[in-house]
């Protein structure tokens, strides 16, 4: 009897030449600026001790946009007032958390298939992430 292991496919960084279409595809053209700023603002609130702005990577999975993640550090302490979670996560997990908060927050203000589909896709992806427990605790 043999067992096969299926490796989890990770998200990949969007190449520079495709960055211009990432935000409109993820959030929709009408919400891309508002949504991008919401994600940055949530990161400031989630990690006030470690996040102070900077360049962000864009991540996709299976050709679909997923989330934004800051490049400024490899790890972030999540200690902000909007979540009861206190812990340290990778930059990728911090980006997933901030992007999920952005999707959720904006979905109360705007009716958009981009927001609901993006949230669902990212939430499903985060369930198989190596830091799934921390992500789940942080958004709960």
3-state secondary structure the chain: CCCCCCCCCCCEECCHHHHHHHHHHHHCCCCHHHHHHHHHHHHHHHCCCCCCCCCEEEEEECCEEEEEEECCCCEEEECCCCCCCCEEEEHHHHHHHHHHHHHHHHHCCCCCHHHHHHHHHHHHHHHCCCCHHHHHHHHC
Q: Can you give the pLDDT at residue 128?
A: 94
Q: What is the CATH number of domain 12-139?
A: 3.30.70.3580
Six token digits for residue 13? 């960084």
Calpha distance 128→118 (Å, rounded): 16
Name which of 6-15, 94-103, 113-122 the model is least confident about.
6-15
Calpha distance 9→18 (Å, rounded): 20
pLDDT in tens, 74-109: 999 998 778 889 999 999 999 999 999 999 999 999
pLDDT in tens, 37-76: 999 999 999 999 999 999 999 999 999 999 999 999 999 9
Query: How is the chain split into domains, by residue range?
Result: 12-139
Residue 138 clears pLDDT 60, i.e. is over it: yes
**Max Cα distance, the chain (Å):** 54
Residue 3 clears pLDDT 60, i.e. is over it: no
Q: Can you give the pLDDT at residue 5?
A: 43
98 in Cβ contact with 42 (< 8 Å): yes
| Averaged pLDDT, 11-29 | 97
Calpha distance 7→96 (Å, rounded): 20
Model confidence band, residue 2 (pLDDT cutoffs 50, 70, 90): very low
Q: Hunting for tokens 């800051």 — which residue is that?
A: 70
């Amino acid at each position: 009897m043999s067992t096969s292991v299926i490796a989890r496919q990770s998200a990949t960084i969007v190449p520079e030449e495709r960055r211009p279409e990432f935000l409109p595809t993820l959030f929709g053209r009408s919400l891309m600026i508002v949504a991008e700023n919401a994600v940055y603002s949530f990161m400031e609130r989630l990690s006030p001790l470690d996040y102070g702005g900077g360049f962000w990577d864009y991540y996709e999975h299976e050709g679909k946009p997923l989330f934004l993640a800051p490049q400024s550090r490899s790890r972030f302490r999540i200690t902000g007032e909007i979540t009861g979670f206190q812990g340290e996560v990778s930059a990728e997990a911090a980006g997933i958390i901030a992007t999920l908060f952005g999707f959720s927050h904006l979905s109360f203000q705007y009716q958009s298939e981009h927001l609901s589909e993006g949230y669902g896709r990212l939430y499903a992806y985060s369930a198989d992430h190596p830091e799934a427990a921390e992500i789940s605790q942080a958004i709960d």
